[in-house]
Structure 1
């Protein structure tokens, strides 16, 4: 059985202080970090032995995970299990990249975000060059705020043509058609991010082939629906896993709406759903992405 897991443990500390993020510069206590490490190690042990599933795993920590050694170890370990088809993480690339040499780069992938004002542009770009030279799968993105426009254009010009540059619509920001057109020129898939998607009652893969797991092993259909389906470690979640319509009115986050069956994004991102790499951007050469929907 193919199973996609979005894992979010208790970690909520970050080394950046982005003004649009509520977790900026949050500090976890020593006890909180120990709890996060223990939770992640428990999850990694479970995933390593869950050979009845073909697993795809995306780590979505509130903070920055890869500055912590236990996240790097988990990524490396999981990448070498034959039943793990993909292990990916959302990251700001603020760490050294040499550890990636120990991972299976056919399995590991990175969803990278550039945050202007938090790190020198040249440093971030150098990290992407290192990833490309090491054969690591990755996408790069930015939040679509007006003050980020010049940074986004610079990134698109400097990144290899085949590296997908995604743009997230800024939460609470309303875009004029002209502004949206400018962002769409950089990311042809930006229209999917511009407005929340109506989801009430619509079929979604979450809750059946896609689940969310927290540090206690509590399983929910996704990060945005609080109702528990059971627990990962006692297997009770599997009895509640079934296709079902979305109970929310709208879905406005990519890691949620990408799984809606009413949208064509599983075709657009075929082979790269978790790391946000479109099928048209998986090889060398210019990116030519269809605008679907």
Structure 2
């Protein structure tokens, strides 16, 4: 079985205080950090054992906080990347951590989904980290939230990043973009039209719940982060009998880690080989983006 897992443990602390994030500068207690470390170790042990069953796994860690400032995330990702049945292991990160740990990882398997947050770290420091990743041969994408005040930062990033590094732009939550505003962001990220509007998803086929699942620190399995209904537990195997094709029960899906799995969108083709780390298979030409552009609700 080929299975994609979105893992989110108890960790909810971050070293940044972005005004648009509810977990900004939140601090986990020692007990909470201990619980998160134990939960990740349990998950990693389970993932390592799945090779004995012939399963192949792709794993994206989507912590509420920043995982890579914690040693157990760095170590676990590196260890998982070296297992032959792990097709991909990736994590969302603000890239505030050091990068030398990547020398212990299989960089054909491990990848990073990096977000630049203006005002939280000096631009030159963030850019230097991306250059370290490039020198190490790591696969990564870089992105930014599409607030008007971030536009010049995004333009600077696009100019300074290597051409092959994809710069993505997330539409700011709840923000409506004029066509002129959207055009400015699309000039930087040709795939921005997919983020601009929430996707009507009710009743549409989605890979979540069949080949994609969400797992929390207790091993509770759901189809995705955005649908609370439980499918079973990872560690007792009860989730397996629940895996089947499913239609989306939500009216709309407005987060990339959700709508990327909608079968009605072409994003598995666009991101072929890089779905979890948000790296397109190739830079899509403008005409292709025009053809793929979703219809606004």
- Give the TM bin, normalised by the shorter chain: over 0.9
Q: Specify which of 138, 144, 147 is matched with residue 146 of structure 2.
A: 144
Alignment of 1:194 with 2:190, yes or no, is no
Q: Specify which of 200, 209, 212 is matched with residue 210 of structure 1.
A: 212
Shift of 1:238: 0.3
Q: Distance in 1 between matches of 2:285 and 2:264?
A: 23
TM-score (norm 2): 0.96
TM-score (norm 1): 0.97
Q: Which residue of structure 1 aligns with residue 8 of structure 2?
A: 8
> SS where residue 61 of structure 1 aligns?
coil
Q: Distance in 2 between matches of 1:67 and 1:261?
A: 35
Q: Which residue of structure 1 aligns with residue 96 of structure 2?
A: 94
- Structure 1 residues 84-123: aligned runs within 5 Å: 84-123=86-125
Shift of 1:172: 1.1
Q: Distance in 2 between matches of 1:95 and 1:3?
A: 29
Render the CA deviation track for 1:92-151: whole Å, top value 9, x for unaligned: 000110000000000000000000000000000000001011100000000000000000
Q: Which residue of structure 2 aligns with residue 268 of structure 1?
A: 270
Render the CA deviation track for 1:8-58: whole Å, top value 9, x for unaligned: 000000000000000000000000000000000000000001113110000
Render the CA deviation track for 1:262-281: whole Å, top value 9, x for unaligned: 00000000000000000005
Q: Which residue of structure 2 aligns with residue 160 of structure 1?
A: 162
Q: Which residue of structure 2 aligns with residue 42 of structure 1?
A: 42
Gaps of 5+ in 1: 282-286
Shift of 1:288: 4.4
Q: Distance in 2 between matches of 1:53 and 1:253?
A: 28
Q: Specify which of 276, 279, 284 is matched with residue 281 of structure 2.
A: 279
Q: Specify which of 220, 223, 232 is matched with residue 222 of structure 2.
A: 220
Q: Distance in 2 between matches of 1:259 and 1:193?
A: 14
The range that moved more, 50-59 or 268-277, is 50-59
Q: Specify which of 65, 69, 72 is matched with residue 70 of structure 1.
A: 72
Tell me how large the CA RMSD over aligned residues is. Answer: 0.8
Q: Which residue of structure 2 aligns with residue 284 of structure 1?
A: none
User: Between Structure 1 and Structure 2, how many residues are aligned?
Assistant: 288
Gaps of 5+ in 2: none
Structure 1 stretches of 4+ with a deviation exceeding 6 A read: none
